[in-house]
Amino acid sequence: MTLAVPSLPTPPVALSAGTLAERVYAQIKQLIFDFVLLPGDRFSESDLANRVQVSRTPLRQALQRLQREGFLLVFPKSGWQVAPLDFDAFGQLYDLRMLLETHAVARLCEADPRPSLDELNRVWLVPEAERQHTVLTIDRLDEAFHAALVEAAGNTEMARVHADVTDRIRIIRRLDFTKPQRVEATYDEHALILRAITRRRADEAQRLLRAHIEHSKVEVRRITIETLQNARLRMAEAHTPPG
């Protein structure tokens, strides 16, 4: 008779240094995106290590990556700083994005077949009652819309540059969808652009797309400044002793 050997509990799997650094990178980046770590804030590695509960080695790897991407600045002997928001640089990135996307739209108006257009129409040409309003969902759909326009041009280098631009402006761009009226405007403007592309009216589609991106650039600057002011006010109130 064979005795059944009870299975032993599986020991917890320790995260590798690379995996841990990746997790810490995402965690700190989200703190920056959520304005928990405010632009211009200074901090030490030990303070942040205690906050995110991680050792110094994966923390430093994550911080160095965020520095390379422009989210952090480092000062010898005085620690780290969240990079101040540079709206001039963001404006240049929005201009580059506009060039890439308007070129791609012209190519899409000439393409045949256009399977990506069918999918975009399915997402954006919907009745108002079926529109998405969750910030994270609409943010993801919006990025996918603009990425699909560029990818449809069939130029992988152009798509790579566009993806980099998208990542660098995400910290302010996502705030566009915290306002209900901006969500509705996004649906309306995307629908107009898609209808112009469907009719192969390249000049009209490019004009609509330029106006859409320019409008977004102006609005996200206004919303970002307002959000920062509110975040600083909340922080000041949290540190004010009652009395």
Q: Whole-number mean pLDDT of the chain?
A: 89
User: pTM for the full model?
Assistant: 0.83
| CB-CB contact of 210 with 102 (8 Å) | yes
The tens digit of pLDDT for each residue in 82-99 reads: 999 999 999 999 999 999
* Rounded-to-integer distance, Cα 131 and Cα 29, Å: 29
What average pLDDT does this structure show over 45-58? 90
What average pLDDT does this structure show over 123-140? 94
**Residue 242: enclosing H or E segment and its boundaries?**
none
> Is residue 46 packed enough to be buried (19+ CB in 10 Å), middle (13-18) or exposed (0-12)?
exposed
Q: What is the pLDDT of residue 17?
A: 55
* Rounded-to-integer distance, Cα 25 and Cα 22, Å: 5
- pLDDT-based confidence at residue 38 (cuts at 50, 70, 90): very high
The tens digit of pLDDT for each residue in 143-179 reads: 999 999 999 989 999 999 999 999 999 999 999 999 9
Q: What is the pLDDT of residue 240?
A: 72
Q: Is the pLDDT of residue 238 over 80?
A: no
Q: Is the pLDDT of residue 14 over 50?
A: no
Token pair 């919006």 is found at 142
Sheet with 72-75: strands ordered across: 42-43, 79-82, 72-75
